[in-house]
């Protein structure tokens, strides 16, 4: 039996979810002048860039982008960020990824930022799959899905049409 890929979020729905997450981030940081959007390379960073645009449209907060490089095959390897830790010290930070699956990538990202004193630390994902192997949660999420372990979600955030597909 061949299972056809199904679109779980279309372009319009993803755009709306990004806007809603931006409002939630703003509500949680209404008294901040600056917020760090730390996107996990690659789709998490693309999502963080889109959240930055949305936040800029709805608030006076100055969002600063930070690319977080995690080796997903070896998450214990050194994690690198595109800005030095001194630039996010004592600031409000949101760690962003496209899909929260087992929680492995997010938990190692969280671990990295725990070495720096932060004012506030939250997480944001577009799709939460509910298959956590670690006690990590998304504070801001676009959609929560219960899927089988064999299924995979691909998120496409570049180009003219955004899409989240269940395979």
Domain residue extents for the chain:
6-166
pTM of this prediction exceeds 0.95: no
Report residue 72 as tokens: 């997903």
pLDDT in tens, 116-159: 999 999 999 999 987 777 778 899 999 998 877 788 888 999 88
Which residues of the chain fall short of a pLDDT of 50? 1-2
Question: Cα(126)–Cα(9) distance, rounded to whole angstroms?
Answer: 10
What CATH number labels 6-166? 3.40.50.2020
């Amino acid at each position: 039996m061949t299972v056809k890929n199904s679109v779980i979020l279309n372009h319009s729905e993803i755009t709306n979810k990004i806007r809603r997450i931006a409002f939630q981030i703003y509500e949680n940081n209404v008294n901040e002048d600056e917020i760090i959007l730390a996107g996990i390379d690659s789709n998490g960073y693309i999502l963080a860039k889109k959240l930055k645009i949305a936040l800029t449209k709805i608030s006076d907060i100055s969002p600063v982008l930070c690319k977080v490089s995690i080796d997903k095959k070896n998450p214990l390897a050194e994690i690198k960020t595109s800005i030095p830790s001194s630039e996010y010290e004592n600031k409000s930070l949101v760690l962003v990824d496209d899909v929260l699956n087992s929680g492995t990538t997010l938990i190692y990202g969280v671990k990295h930022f725990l070495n720096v004193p932060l004012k506030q630390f939250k997480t944001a994902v577009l799709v939460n799959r509910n298959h956590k192997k670690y006690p990590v949660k998304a504070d801001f999420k676009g959609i929560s899905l219960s899927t089988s372990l064999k299924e995979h979600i691909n998120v496409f955030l570049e180009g003219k049409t955004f899409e989240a597909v269940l395979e």
